[in-house]
Structure 1
Amino acid sequence: MGRESASLLGRLACASGPRDLRWGRNDPSVRRDRCLQGLSRLTPPTLGQWWYGNVTTGVDHRAVIEAVQEDAGLSKHFAFMTLMSAGIAILGLLLSSPAVVIGAMLISPLMGPIIGFGFALSTFDSNELKRTGWALVIGVVLAVLFCASIVLISPLQSVTAEIAARTRPNLFDLLVALFSGLAGTYAMIRGRHGAIVGVAIATALMPPLAVMGFGLATANWQVLSGSTLLFFTNLMTIAAAAAILARLYGFATGLSPNQTRLQATLIVAAMIALGIPLALSLRQIAWEALSSREASTVIASNFPKTARVNDLAVNYHADPIEVSATVLTPEYRRVEDRLRNQLARTMGQPVLLSLDQIRTEDGAQSASATNASALQRQATKVAEQLALVAGVPVGNIVVDRAAHFASVRAAPLPGASLDAYLQLEKRVAATMPGWRINLIPPLMPLPNVVVTDGEVDPKSLETQVWAAKRQGLPVSVTGGSNQQADEVTQWLTNAGVQAVKGPSRGGEIAIRWRLPEDRSRN
């Protein structure tokens, strides 16, 4: 009985000592260590006693808090690095360059305020909650508005693969953020700050903000909502992980039971609120992956065993669902209607089927079939890229695989000029050598001709010639001197454009469309 009484009195003595480890206050580690050492002589230590006596004693709480405070506040350095990281991120996303996006992650300063917010949450320090929260709000607003302004003046405003990858967060993203938050907080507590770089890459805090700016600038609410959910998933999960680990390492041991319960309730509620939509998104992604595998099996079952399904693509966002596939088969079969019904039953929704059959010899893929399959893949890639830059569905693309030709009429892009559409066409053509790309821009006024020292600059006619050929419309040349108008008209004619000379009234040389109603008056 005396041994148990001594143990109880010892624990009460340790508990009655100064236990408050909030920001910048006295560190009770020395007194607590002595208490725990005395207790260890009386009774075998519990798991909690062992943890606080052997693990947390090696932590310099004051130094950790000072380091966290230094990185968590709002400063000129924080604002500048946030803007630079956001600018690099949005350019990398628009160019669909993973290397550039990773560079933006490396210099992003957002991990500091988020971990600081988690530490403040663990200690219930209202002043630090306000300080770190304010830094996060300012950083988010700066990044989103800066990215939106870059997108508004950019000729590239289509959803790239890098942007689309950050619009469908799921439960796995929450788990990545949780593990990254634990790793980042552990590195901060144990003084291994170099690991923060890896954490920044794993959680990718800045790219979702850049995608939010893209969605805001282009009024694409699906992109905006998806990227917003991804960013706040990362933010809240990292902050919660930091708060949990900070408590385990002895920060804020002076919280009352009520404060601890409130803290745990807030963390659990935030995780549930984020987990439900992310779990539903993960379920949808899993269903799509399973449906694609089942669709391949269903298609293959309608052909001989030696047949093979190639280039299966399923568009789950279309209504009805669009399924396209190429089948290498030793014999042609009329199975489209039966396949359409089978796929509809498998997926539980109506299906629009596009099926290409390529005959092979004795079920083996011949050289011609191999070439045809490769050509089909090229055609699919060209159609996807053209649809991306033109802002239209893939079904709007006209592709002639035999002639290596693809054409599309682009949708109007806010703020895009004719030269922007020309550069988009060149970009697709550069990625698909051997293909002739025909991007038809919206009908808009042609730019004026550049005249330097009274001489017409032939290079300034490139956009006008390209637009006239794509539209298939004649043009008229007005303004300038007679000699200049004659020269421009001749240049256009030699380039294959139907051009006529209009009245020369001096001033700038203008090239105008000759629409049918204009030609009927002449």
Structure 2
Amino acid sequence: MTTFQRWWRRDVMGTVDQAAVIEKRRAECVLSARYLLMVCMSAGIAVLGLLQGSAAVVIGAMLLSPLMDPIMGVGFALAVGDFRWLRQAGKSLAIGVLMAILFTALVVFFSPLQTITSEIAARTRPTLFDLAVAFFSSVAGAYAMIRGREGTIVGVAIATALMPPLAVVGFGLATLNGTVFWGSLFLFITNLTAIALTATGMARLYGFSTSLSEKQTQVQVGLIFFAFVILAVPLFLSLRQIVFESQATRQASSIVVEVFGGRATVSQLEPNFDTDPMEVTATVLTPQIIGDAENRAAERMTSALGRPVDVSLTQLRVGTSAQAQEEAQLAHARQQEAEARAQAQDIAERLALLAGVPTDSVTVDRERRRALVTARPLDGATLYAYAELERRIDATEPEWDIRLTPPLLALPVVTFEAGPEGEDGEPADPLFLPDAQGRRAISLVAWAQARTGVPVRVTGPEEAIAAVRTALSTHDIAVQEEWTGTGYGPVSARWATGE
């Protein structure tokens, strides 16, 4: 036995509590109501994030997904040769996967949005890189579980992304899109297989006791290696095809520019690699119309790409090359202007809906990115409700200043609690301070006064009013005061209309 082997057995394998690790892994593989609920919730978040094209929402689904536990359970069960545990983990995994696919398919079926977004498309063409990510992530995840560093699993969950591919499988099922369905299913199988088999290898590396004979162990190692090879071949071919398409697109764009003597600008080029011959359509801004440009471009592309190419060009005469560039910039600016108008209209419609007023009652300043609306009284709504409505829509448009003016509803009462003790154990000055509800009331009064511009009158004990005055002064708001005595107690606020 070499020095390294002795060190590994004594200082690495010998420091692992195998029984505790196996017990915890086994417990995490149990099929329970909590597991099924988390699968459905994660699947729902994932598919909604994919339909919206929101990477942040999709990441939230990754963190919530419980599928990592049964997959790791399969890996550890294979390593120790516990086939009862393997059946339990496999059952939990299979039911969770089936439930996720059916639940997401149901959500997509009833969703008005069924467009393939960039987030969906990104999970339909797995490559060798995805296998590598799953392998490295599984090494990290298995190590974290063996060594008791569970916090690492958060990063592993994001890296392997188990739930989003299943959500895309559900999308493909609901929309009857075979390309999306099989592509995303292959990505999930790639992640699942790589994680489970890598976990098996890590468990054996750390010396987890097994009931397998030496011959069975050798067969297991051979099967793991064979499985990775089987996965790697199609993933490598997929990666090679993606690289080819990327390079072919760049070459096609360059050839089109060369055909026009370098004086044209390609504003849009769309290759179709699934046809024979390959099709390339492009819009060209050129100072001179060239009659045989399509044939010349097709000949050059066929020679450069090594396969027949059919080219269709839409030529727009815009003057000189510099003018073509300017025209393209103007077109881009017009597009941005149109998008800004659409965004402003969307904000106006949402504000009008929340405020209960017509859309033309919303004032939108696109240059300053500001939207203002005066809400009408809604049944049962309080000032807190209007403040929350403004906060929510403002959070969806961080670049805009959203302001909702509420109706003059009743203002809240500011309540107090005893202040903290001083260093000598005696009450500090002031003796009383606004409590949590009181601080919230002060913030609401400040917000409502800033939105309406109507003066506020406060009534209560002198010292309590002084504390409220100080708190409101930080918001640059002055109040009219009406004392009812001295000391501390609740301070009521009302609108000083007509005073």
Q: Do these two structures clear the TM 0.5 threshold for a shared fold by scoring above it?
A: yes
Superposed, 1:425-436 pairs within 5 Å as none
Residue 76 in structure 1 maps to residue 33 in structure 2:
yes
Counterpart of 2:301 in structure 1 is 343
Three-state SS of the structure 2 residue aligned to 1:176 is helix
Specify the alignment match of 2:344 in structure 1.
Answer: none
The residue type equivalent to 1:160 in the other structure is T
Question: Which amino acid is the alignment partner of residue 350 of structure 1?
Answer: V
Paired residues of 2:55 and 2:119 also in contact (CA < 8 A): yes
Residue in 1 that maps onto 2:214: 257
**Conserved? CA contact 1:360–1:366, under 8 Å:** no
Aligned twin of 1:244: 201
Q: Secondary structure at the match of 1:73?
A: coil
Distance 1:328 1:52 in 2: 70
Residue 150 of structure 1 corresponds to 107
User: Which of 274, 292, 295 does residue 231 from structure 2 map onto?
Assistant: 274
- In 2, are the aligned partners of 1:306 and 1:364 still within 8 Å (CA)? no
In structure 1, runs of 5+ residues without a counterpart are 1-10, 12-44, 382-432, 434-522
Structure 2 equivalent of residue 93 of structure 1? 50
Amino acid at match of 2:248: S
Q: CA deviation at 1:257?
A: 1.5
- Greater RCO, 1 or 2 (C-alpha within 8 Å, sep 6+): 1
Residue-by-residue CA offset, 1:420-444 (whole Å, 9 max, x unaligned): xxxxxxxxxxxxx9xxxxxxxxxxx
Taking structure 1 as the reference length, what is the TM-score of the superposition? 0.60
Match of 2:162 among 205, 211, 218: 205
Report the alpha carbon displacement of residue 110 of structure 1 after superposing the two structures with TM: 0.4
8 Å contact kept, 1:359–1:369:
no
The answer to whether 1:65 aligns with 2:56 is no
Deviation, structure 1 residue 183: 0.8
- Tell me which of 254, 257, 261 is aligned to 1:304: 261
After superposition, give the CA deviation of every residue in 1:341-381 in whole Å (9 maximum; x if it has no partner).
Answer: 222333303323224345454647664442146568999x9
| Cα separation, 2, equivalents of 1:48 and 1:378 | 68
CA spacing shift, 1:203–1:360, aligned 2, 3 Å: farther
Cα RMSD, aligned residues only: 2.5
Return the letter of the residue paired with 1:344: T
SS in 2 for 1:55: helix
Cα distance per residue 1:35-79 (max 9 Å; x no partner): xxxxxxxxxx34322211222222222222222122222111111
Specify the alignment match of 1:217 in structure 2: 174
Partner of 1:352: 311
Deviations 1:18-43 (A, max 9, x none): xxxxxxxxxxxxxxxxxxxxxxxxxx
CA distance in structure 1 between the aligned counterparts of 2:321 and 2:58, rounded to whole angstroms: 48
C-alpha separation between the residues in 2 aligned to 1:314 and 1:106?
37
Do 2:124 and 2:179's aligned partners in 1 also have CA atoms closer than 8 Å?
yes
Q: Distance in 1 between matches of 2:94 and 2:325?
A: 61
- In 1: Cα distance, 2:321 partner to 2:107 partner: 57
SS of residue paired to 2:246: helix
**For 1:224, what is the secondary structure of its paired residue?**
helix
Q: Kindly tell me: are residues 313 and 116 of structure 1, through their superposed partners in 2, closer, same or farther at Cα, counting changes over 3 Å?
A: same
Q: 1:124 to 1:378 in 2, by over 3 A?
A: farther
Give the letter for the 1:110 counterpart.
L
2:190 is the counterpart of 1:233: yes
The corresponding residue for 2:330 is: 371
Q: Which segment is superposed worse, 175-184 or 51-60?
A: 51-60
Q: Distance in 1 between matches of 2:169 and 2:22?
A: 32
Residue 120 in structure 1 maps to residue 120 in structure 2? no
**Is the alpha carbon distance of 1:352 and 1:170 closer, same or farther for their aligned partners in structure 2, counting shifts above 3 Å?**
same
Mapped contact 1:320–1:351 kept (Cα < 8 A): yes
1:387 match: none
Secondary structure of the residue aligned to 2:91 is helix
Change (3 A) 1:295 1:375: farther
For residues 361 and 159 of structure 1, the distance between their equivalents in structure 2, rounded to whole angstroms, comes to 38
What SS class does the counterpart of residue 8 from structure 2 fall into? helix
Structure 1 Cα separation of the partners of residues 124 and 283 of structure 2: 29
Aligned residues: 338
Name the structure 1 match of 2:345. Answer: none
State the AA in 1 paired with 2:8.
Answer: W
2:62 aligns with: 105
Q: Does the aligned pair in 2 maintain the 1:105–1:204 contact within 8 Å?
A: yes
What is the DSSP-based 3-state SS (H/G/I as helix, E as strand, rest coil) of the residue aligned with 2:138? helix
